[in-house]
């Protein structure tokens, strides 16, 4: 797998509800992105929606955010990223939409995500898996 994006996440707020059947939380964030094909920053409004279930192990996450920057040709562009997963799985499943002609291949690429907590910094890695 080839690493295509490295997202450095800065959590700005956590809103949580501990219910009787489980816990739901919104994790608001911003940050910056680097990679071979794109560099930029995470726009305001990034959110990871998480659910934990009282009577079963694990939970789900679904992050949605827009990154604004430049593609590998230097053109300004945006990426919309939705990244879904479960707490017990090693990889997440990202989906990307873009207005960049150079990066349009990302919309149909087989992508995998991985959450890393290296040295206290939250990093999301997005890989392209060659099929």
What is the block-wise mean pLDDT of the chain (131 residues), using blocks of 10 residues? 94 95 94 96 95 86 97 97 91 96 96 88 91 68
Query: 48-74 in b/e burial notation, b at 16+ Cβ within 10 A?
Result: bebbbeeeeeebebebebbbebebeee
Question: Which residues, other chains included, contact 127 with Cβ-Cβ below 8 Å and sequence gap of 6+?
Answer: 1, 2, 3, 4, 111, 112, 113, 114
Q: End-to-end CA distance of the chain, in Å? A: 10
Between CA 120 and CA 81 the distance in angstroms is 23
Give the pLDDT confidence score for residue 88 in this predicted structure: 83
Quote the CA–CA distance of 66 and 53 in Å, as a whole number: 28
Whether the pTM exceeds 0.95: the reply is: no
């Amino acid at each position: 797998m080839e690493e295509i994006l490295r997202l450095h996440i800065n959590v700005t707020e956590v809103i949580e509800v501990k219910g009787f059947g489980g816990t739901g939380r919104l994790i608001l964030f911003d940050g910056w992105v680097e990679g071979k094909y794109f560099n930029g920053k995470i726009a305001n409004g990034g959110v990871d929606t998480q659910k934990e279930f009282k009577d079963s192990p694990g939970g789900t996450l679904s992050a949605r955010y827009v990154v604004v920057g430049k593609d590998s040709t230097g053109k300004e562009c945006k990426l919309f990223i939705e990244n879904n997963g479960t707490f017990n799985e090693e990889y997440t499943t990202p989906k990307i939409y873009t207005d960049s002609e150079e990066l349009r291949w990302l919309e149909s690429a087989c992508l995998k995500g991985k959450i890393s907590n290296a040295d206290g910094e939250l990093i999301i890695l997005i890989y392209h898996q060659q099929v």
